[in-house]
Amino acid sequence: MAAKIAEDATLDEIRAGLAAELPMNAAFDGWNDTALITAARGAGVDPDVAKLAFPGGAVDMIDGWFAHIDAEMARALPPEKLAQMKIRERITALVEQRLATLAGDREALRRALAILAMPQNLARATKLGWRSADRMWRLAGDMATDYNHYTKRAMLAGIYGATITVFLDDESEQWADTRAFLARRIDGIMRFEKAKAKFTNRTRGDHRISLSRFVSRLRYPAV
């Protein structure tokens, strides 16, 4: 049974409260007013007020649900728990926690992704994917602000999206196929990061050599 939402709740609180209930209705009715009204009535919210909490319709409902997934992931994996893991283990744990939260709502997820794949929704879909990747990296302890900030998030967003595609049709026990797929992709990220670090260090070293040569030439011009 859906948790009741207080009568004096703000629109943000209503949005957050309904976000967890929407997918079970969207799996049958689609991401539409029917699903929203059913969820609202179950939570004791006036349907018209519920619509005000999701003014953008289906995409806003999906946005709210994904924000709920982010919050559940952070709750299940607090900083003190993640701190005991290596970076690769943190990213793996964060993605797998998202999958565990989504496991009972795969049909709702399938319908949500179909909506986000529509041309008019691609920009919003990209923003949502980026937001989830950013949340995962931040929870993992990454605070980079240079170009690494963007490359890490772009790669993780791509990996997460590909993993979700496998997950939707995975009938193996405990999503073993999805976990194996994810492990291979994360291994690819780690190899890329190591190679990038070596290249960056070597490039910086070359710059130092070039600078010393330049200075020496100023002092001792070539004949």
| Residue 78 belongs to domain with CATH number | 1.10.357.10
DSSP for 102-135 reads HGGGHHHHHHHHHHHTSGGGHHHHHHHHHHHHHH
Range of the domain at 190: 56-216
What is the pLDDT, as a whole number, of residue 195?
67
Q: Tell me how far apart the alpha carbons of residues 134 and 148 are, in angstroms, rounded to a whole number.
A: 12
What is the pLDDT, as a whole number, of residue 72?
96
Domain membership flag for residue 43: no
Q: Which two tokens stand for residue 181?
A: 């797929």
Q: Tell me how far apart the alpha carbons of residues 173 and 217 are, in angstroms, rounded to a whole number.
A: 67
Domain membership flag for residue 82: yes
Domain membership flag for residue 165: yes
Domain membership flag for residue 95: yes
Domain membership flag for residue 44: no
What is the pLDDT, as a whole number, of residue 209?
45
Q: Tell me how far apart the alpha carbons of residues 125 and 212 are, in angstroms, rounded to a whole number.
A: 49
pTM for the structure as a whole: 0.84
For the chain, which residues score pLDDT lower than 50?
208-209, 211-223
Domain membership flag for residue 45: no
Domain membership flag for residue 81: yes
Domain membership flag for residue 33: no
- Mean pLDDT (the chain, rounded): 88
- Our count of domains for the chain comes to 1
- Is the CB of residue 15 less than 8 Å from the CB of residue 54? yes
Q: Which two tokens stand for residue 183?
A: 């492990």
- Is the CB of residue 71 less than 8 Å from the CB of residue 96? no
Q: Tell me how far apart the alpha carbons of residues 36 and 21 are, in angstroms, rounded to a whole number.
A: 9
What is the pLDDT, as a whole number, of residue 147?
79
